[in-house]
Amino acid sequence: MKREFARILHPQAATPITIDGKATPPEVVQGVASFYLLYFAVFALGSLIISLEGLDLFSAMSAVAATLGNIGPGFGAVGPSETFALFSPFSKLLLSLFMLLGRLELFTLLVIFTPGFWRE
């Protein structure tokens, strides 16, 4: 964020991102940014799909966060004293996919489902 503010104030300045005084390669910055964007997109889309079951948005977001992050219980309808039994079989399957995505990493699992992976 500090770099983006500096770029707004000085758009022509070259301000590399540094870690321990060393410039970080643009590929690393792009990889980290794309991971965060993909993680947030999966979280947001999953929360919307799960909320279509009639759950409140807080409980749906909590269920997706708990499964995607593999953190155990969530809040609301999936709190520590509750279970995931209230979800439909489709939602349980989707939440199981989120558990796999969170455990095996997003890029790794999503690459397996691309046709180019199987052709090479």
Query: Within 10 Å of residue 66's Cβ, how many Cβ atoms?
Result: 21
The pLDDT tens digits for 90-104 are 999 999 999 988 888
The model carries a pTM of 0.78
DSSP three-state, residue 9: helix
How far apart, in Å, do the first and last CA atoms of the chain sit?
39
20 Rama sector, left if φ>0, alpha if ψ -120 to 50, beta otherwise: left
Average pLDDT over residues 36-52: 94
Backbone angles phi, psi at 96, to 5 degrees: -65, -40
**Residue ranges per structural domain of the chain:** 25-119
State the CATH class of domain 25-119.
mainly alpha
What is d(CA 76, CA 65) in angstroms, rounded to the nearest whole number?
12
